[in-house]
A and B are shown apart, each in its own frame.
Chain A
Amino acid sequence: MTTTDVRTQEFLDYVQAGGQVETGDWMPDEYRSKLVKFIEMHGNSELMGVLPERDWILRAPTLQRKLALTAKIQDEVGHAQLIYRVVEDLGKPRSACLDDLVSGKAKFHNVFHYPTKTWGDVGVIAWLVDAAAIISQKALLKCSYAPYARIMKKICWEESFHILHGRDVILAMVTGTPDQFELVQEALLRWWEPLMHFHGNPIPADEDPMVIWRIKSQANEEARQQFLEGYVPQIRELGLEIPDPNLRRDDETGVWSYTEPDWEKLRAVVTGHGPASQERLDFRRLSREHVEWVSQVVLAEAA
Chain B
Amino acid sequence: MTLVWEVFRQERKGQPFAHAGAVVAPDLRFAEVYAREQYGRRQESEALWLVPRDAVHLVHDFPDEFDLKYRRVDGYSIKARLKEARERAGTLQG
Identify the A interface with B (CB < 8 A): 24, 74, 78, 81-82, 85, 88-89, 94, 150-151, 154, 298-299, 301-303
Contact B38 A78 (CB under 8 A): yes
Number of A-B contacts (CB under 8 A): 34
Q: How far is the CA of A81 from the CA of B20 in the complex (A)?
A: 14
Q: A24 contacts which of B4, B26, B38, B58 (Cβ < 8 Å)? A: B58
Q: B26 contacts which of A81, A94, A154, A302 (Cβ < 8 Å)? A: A302
Contact B21 A151 (CB under 8 A): yes
Contact B23 A85 (CB under 8 A): yes
Q: How far is the CA of A82 from the CA of B39 in the complex (A)?
A: 11
Q: How far is the CA of A154 from the CA of B41 in the complex (A)?
A: 13
Tally of contact residues, B, Cβ under 8 A? 17
What residues of B have a CB within 8 angstroms of the CB of A74 in the complex?
41
| Among all A-B residue pairs, the 3 with the closest Cβ atoms | A302-B26, A302-B27, A85-B22
Whether A85 contacts B30 in the complex (CB less than 8 A), given A24-B58, A78-B37, comes out as no
Contact with A along B37-51 (1 / 0, CB 8 A): 110010000000000
Whether A299 contacts B2 in the complex (CB less than 8 A), given A85-B24, A154-B21, comes out as yes
Contact A298 B24 (CB under 8 A): no
What residues of A have a CB within 8 angstroms of the CB of B30 in the complex?
298, 302
When C-beta atoms are compared, the residue in chain A nearest to B18 turns out to be A150
B1 within 8 A of A: yes
Contact A82 B26 (CB under 8 A): no
When C-beta atoms are compared, the residue in chain A nearest to B22 turns out to be A85
What residues of B have a CB within 8 angstroms of the CB of A81 in the complex?
23, 34, 38
When C-beta atoms are compared, the residue in chain A nearest to B19 turns out to be A150
What residues of A have a CB within 8 angstroms of the CB of B38 in the complex?
78, 81-82
Contact A299 B26 (CB under 8 A): yes
Q: Quick one: which of A85, A150, A302 has the most chain B CB within 10 A? A: A302
Q: How far is the CA of A74 from the CA of B19 in the complex (A)?
A: 22
What residues of B have a CB within 8 angstroms of the CB of A85 in the complex?
21-24
What residues of A have a CB within 8 angstroms of the CB of B1 in the complex?
299, 302-303
Contact A298 B21 (CB under 8 A): no
When C-beta atoms are compared, the residue in chain B nearest to A158 turns out to be B42
What are 28 A-B interface contacts by the 8 Å CB criterion? A74-B41, A78-B37, A78-B38, A81-B23, A81-B34, A82-B38, A85-B21, A85-B22, A85-B23, A85-B24, A88-B24, A89-B4, A89-B22, A94-B24, A150-B19, A150-B21, A154-B21, A298-B26, A298-B30, A299-B1, A299-B2, A299-B26, A301-B26, A302-B1, A302-B26, A302-B27, A302-B30, A303-B26
Smallest CB separation, B42 vs chain A (Å): 8
Q: How far is the CA of A78 from the CA of B23 in the complex (A)?
A: 11
Q: How far is the CA of A298 from the CA of B21 in the complex (A)?
A: 22
Q: Quick one: which of A24, A298, A303 has the most chain B CB within 10 A? A: A298
When C-beta atoms are compared, the residue in chain A nearest to B37 turns out to be A78
What residues of A have a CB within 8 angstroms of the CB of B22 in the complex?
85, 89
When C-beta atoms are compared, the residue in chain A nearest to B1 turns out to be A303
What residues of A have a CB within 8 angstroms of the CB of B41 in the complex?
74
What residues of B have a CB within 8 angstroms of the CB of A24 in the complex?
58
Q: How far is the CA of A299 from the CA of B2 in the complex (A)?
A: 8
Whether A82 contacts B27 in the complex (CB less than 8 A), given A299-B1, A302-B1, A303-B1, comes out as no
Smallest CB separation, A81 vs chain B (Å): 7
List 11 other contacts, CB 8 Å, given A74-B41, A94-B24, A302-B27: A24-B58, A78-B38, A81-B34, A82-B21, A82-B38, A85-B22, A85-B24, A89-B22, A151-B21, A301-B26, A303-B26
